[in-house]
Amino acid sequence: MTEIRDINLRIIFDSRGDKTVEAEVITREARGIASCPSGASKSSYEVETIPKKGLENAIRDFMINVKPKLLGLDSSKQEEIDKILLESDGTKRLENYGASIILSVSIANLKAASIAINKKIFEKLNEKDQYYLPLPLGNVIGGGKHAKNRSIDIQEILVFCNNSINIIEAIEANIIMHRKLFKLLSSHDPYFAGGKNDEGALVTRMPLKKILSLVNQARKEIHEEKGYEILIGLDVAASSLWNGERYEYPLEKLSLNDEEQLNFILELVNEFDIFYIEDPFHEDSFEYFSELSSRNPDILVVGDDLYASNEDRLKIGIAKKASNGVIIKPNQVGCVSKVLRTINLAVNSGIKPIVSHRSGETEDVFISHLAVAFDSPLIKTGTIGGERISKLNELIRIAEFLKDRAKLNKLK
């Protein structure tokens, strides 16, 4: 029933119009389909998404040399499948086949195995009586590499609703914030023309503190109108600002050393009531992550480029008490089994796993199931746009399926 009968690979396009891979794993009873996203702002510790030899050559090579190794195997044995996939690539960073192929096949295999035994993907990953749905963490203002460096210097200003009564309300609150900020930018930024970045977030050249003031104004107005408790987050993506010696903010006309960066982040946190702060320092700055975390134990300090969803990197962060949250992006490590090891390490160490999309997304909804399976408190999926909404709509379907077995997470 779960024996792999066939595997197909095809080139498709992501939300930026870049090529990626969609995989089909076919058993006697089921067909699992999955695809791999790609990032613009990347950690140097994540695996390659696109293979060095190019997608066409890599797909041809995979079908000749790897597919025969997988045919006839039991798709329910995920670790065995992933081991063959990783060994077949033969490189630490998946340079031969890339996450575009390896991860797509890995997730498609998981989906096929789930369908074959009539289980939802999140149940196959972690079957239990009670699940906690993640709160959508939506980016409403975008900058950095996701806006081609033509907006604010940091990568994202994010929001989530902490007092929603259900997942629909949580999703809608972010959409309302997005629309409210569109109106505020239209009246406060004379150059704003409705532009959006790769993930559908609004772009503006207004100074960071001025735009944060508008975000605070928007959330206060929405609280008065709807009663929603909106919390604010920042994804600094500081590795993109780091030149090896200093953090450079071109729009803000700032050039900061490590200590000045720490003070700048502390200033933003205190002045604008920031609850969530992601990658406030570059990807090797465990010490300054630790310093920020020790000074702000009541907020979420989250590592993305710092960890690259890598179990060994996370072990270092845990030992140094660098953060209390870790971003989980499956394509950073390239297969389901490695993602699960990192999540389990985080959960067992009291670190919150926050499942995330990438800037170049597909309509695949795997990350929605991954977040639900392990009670991720937040899920980064964007706020609007078809490839973002697909993940959010899947959360609605999951909540409907679980009924009373699903509760909505809450932070603070």
Q: Which residues are tagged catalytic?
A: 199, 329
* Contact indicator for 113, 76 with CB cutoff of 8 Å: yes
End-to-end CA, the chain: 45
In a 3-state reduction of DSSP, which class is residue 264?
Answer: helix
Q: How far apart are CA 217 and CA 267, in angstroms?
A: 18
- Paired sense of beta strands 378-380 and 31-35, if any: unpaired
Q: How far apart are CA 59 and CA 391, in angstroms?
A: 27
Kind and range of the H or E element at 281? none
314 C-beta neighbours (distance < 10 Å), count: 26
Q: How far apart are CA 102 and CA 86, in angstroms?
A: 7
DSSP at 130: -
Kind and range of the H or E element at 360? none
Q: How far apart are CA 390 and CA 127, in angstroms?
A: 23
Which conformational region is residue 98 in: left (phi greater than 0), alpha (psi within -120 to 50 degrees), or beta? left
Residue 307's nearest CA partner among 272, 282, 271 is 282
